[in-house]
Amino acid sequence: MGSVVDELERILAPGQVDAGEVALRRYAVDQAPVIDFQLPLAVVFPESVADVQAVVRACAGTGVAIVARGAGTGVSGGAHATKNCIVLSLERMDRILALNPDDETAVVEPGVVNAVLNDAAAAHGLMYAPDPASFRTSTIGGNVATNAGGLRCAKYGVTRDSVLAVDVVLADGSLIHTGHQTFKGVAGYDLTGLFVGSEGTLGIVVGVTVRLKYLPRDVHTVAAFYPDFRQAAAGVLAVGRARVQPAIMELLDGGTLAQLDDIHGSDLTARGRSLLLIQTDGFGAAAEAQVVRDVLLAGGAAVTTEASEEAERLVELRRHSRGVEVDDEYRVGEDVAVPRSRLVDYVAALDAMASDHGVHLKVVAHAGDGNLHPTFWIDRTGGSVDAVALKRLHRVLDESITAALAMGGTITGEHGVGQYKLRWLGQEQPEPVREIQRRIKELFDPEGILNPGKAI
């Protein structure tokens, strides 16, 4: 334990610095596979902007790194502790500072949980649109730092599209405000956009002004079961060709259905090998749902007819289709995106890879965005490490990335590069583009104390 921790204990109030073993372990990792386990020197709980500034100042010049953390639900290792770091947990800065119904904006501290903001907004007929499946636990600060997507992003956009302004503590402890309190504003460079998705490497987000959208007055949900995944993926394109913009368009494969049946005792597998869940919303929801049903029926789906409670229950199930199992070295969830027209091809390629290499595969997709979450896993042979099987797993992982890129895709649609996906970044971005990012990082954080070894 270094002197920085003593210094922090001196500066902050009792209970704000925890260097106990339990806390260190609990805050050492997020939900991603761990490739280089490190314990932080301490976990620090700022309660104000001034606290954050004091912590950053205490670390600056000492070589102690700062890993910002929201709820630790990240799945790319962005919040994993690194060597000689403190973890800065923003969870206690959880106040909604303003909610302006007529302006349709809110100002929040970074630790506000997504669902809490949404509940507060709902009281005014408003919503904060970006809804990662982790919305009940993940924080707005974490959402901003990862530019989180979610289920209803096909229609309402990702986090970036709802963030108007941020307050950021920079690497020297100074505080800046970027962006605007208005819906539109183009004065100067888009610094707000630069911080969104920067995964704690350019500054600590200590305040966020968001735009709220209208809670839809009507929601219709259609569940369509298909004999196979390819036909379901084709259904996504068919809805697009009908020029209907659903709020939610989620695609679940047979493996995912089987898993949901296992956990929840449902009978999804009996009804099809793939499920396409579509939700339309707004004043046109009923008419849109009707077009969706017609189009999917014509494409060979078994479609729920009623304005269906059951379909809505399925969306709830989908929201929880991750999270029961945590990824580890035997089980890795991916997050590629491909142009929508390649969905079918990409899933076919995944199937082929997985069966070639004897690796288990299940896939869910935010299909409206072409954003896929394949999960690859191998069986644990009685608890002991099977090096050969692990090699096969990594082979398939690598191939799945290469295939996505070859189709014009990206290595991460919404989860961020974090620590885990760094190894693939060079395949997506050539050296000159990476070099620009390093230089931007250097500009904001010359000592490299903010979440080193992440994101870029």
* Residues near ligand FAD (CB under 6 A): 30-31, 67-75, 78-79, 90, 110, 132-134, 138-139, 141-143, 145-146, 148-150, 199-200, 204-205, 322-323, 414-415, 418, 451, 454
145 is in the binding site of which of a copy of itself, ligand FAD, none (Cβ under 5 to 8 A by kind)?
A: ligand FAD
By C-beta, is 324 or 352 nearer to ligand FAD? 324
- Crossing angle of helices 3-11 and 49-59, in 10° steps, is 160
- How far is Cα 250 from Cα 276, in angstroms, rounded to an integer? 6
Q: What is the dihedral of CA 398, 401, 405, 408, to 10 degrees?
A: 160
Residue 199 corresponds to which tokens in the numbers above? Answer: 């995964």
239 is in the binding site of which of ligand FAD, a copy of itself, none (Cβ under 5 to 8 A by kind)?
A: none
Q: How far is the CB of 183 from ligand FAD (least distance, A)?
A: 13
By C-beta, is 162 or 451 nearer to ligand FAD? 451
Contacts of 442 (CB under 8 A, 6+ apart): 448
In this structure, are residues 237 and 347 in contact, taking their beta carbons and an 8 Å threshold? no
Q: How far is the CB of 207 from ligand FAD (least distance, A)?
A: 9
Q: How far is the CB of 411 from ligand FAD (least distance, A)?
A: 14
By C-beta, is 19 or 417 nearer to a copy of itself? 417
125 is in the binding site of which of a copy of itself, ligand FAD, none (Cβ under 5 to 8 A by kind)?
A: a copy of itself
By C-beta, is 148 or 449 nearer to ligand FAD? 148
Query: Which of 252, 232, 246 has the alpha carbon at shortest distance from 317?
Result: 252
322 is in the binding site of which of a copy of itself, ligand FAD, none (Cβ under 5 to 8 A by kind)?
A: ligand FAD
Q: How far is the CB of 104 from ligand FAD (least distance, A)?
A: 21
Helix (H) / strand (E) containing 307: none
Strands 42-44 and 85-89: parallel
Contacts of 426 (CB under 8 A, 6+ apart): 434
Q: How far is the CB of 142 from ligand FAD (least distance, A)?
A: 2
- How far is Cα 95 from Cα 417, in angstroms, rounded to an integer? 28
- How far is Cα 121 from Cα 132, in angstroms, rounded to an integer? 17
Q: How far is the CB of 187 from a copy of itself (least distance, A)?
A: 5
By C-beta, is 108 or 353 nearer to ligand FAD? 108
